[in-house]
Amino acid sequence: MALVAAAWAQRAWVEHGEGPRPVFASAAEFNFIRTEYTDLPQFHRRWGFASRGANGEGWWVVDWPDADEHFSMGVRRLTRIDVGDPRHLRLTDPRLFDYPWIYATQTGWWGLSDAETKALREYLLRGGFLVVDDFWGEEQWEIFRETMARVLPGHEIPDIDESDSAMHVLYDIREKDRTFIPGTRHLWRGPGGSTVVHQPEGADPAWRAMYDDKGRMVVAVNFNTDVGDAWEYADSPQYPEAMTSLAYRYGVNYLIYAMTH
214-232: per-residue pLDDT in tens? 999 999 999 999 999 999 9
The domain limits of the chain are: 2-260
* DSSP secondary structure of 207-249: EEEEE-TTS-EEEEEEESS-HHHHHHTTT-TTS-HHHHHHHHH
Q: Is the pLDDT of residue 56 over 70?
A: no
Beta strands, E only, 93-237: 101-105, 129-135, 187-189, 195-197, 206-211, 217-223
Average pLDDT over every residue of 139-162: 98
Q: Per residue in 129-142, pLDDT tens?
A: 999 999 999 999 99
Where is pLDDT greater, at 31 or 55? 31
pLDDT given at position 47 = 56
pTM assigned to the model: 0.90
Closest to 65 (Cα-Cα) out of 91, 85, 41, 44: 85
Please answer whether residues 33 and 102 qualify as being in contact, where contact means their C-beta atoms are separated by less than 8 angstroms.
yes
Q: Average the pLDDT over 87-107 and give the result.
A: 97
> For residue 91, which of 130, 55, 44, 144 has the smallest C-alpha distance?
130
Lowest mean pLDDT among 13-27, 49-63, 246-260: 49-63
Superfamily of domain 2-260: Domain of unknown function DUF4159 (3.40.50.12140)
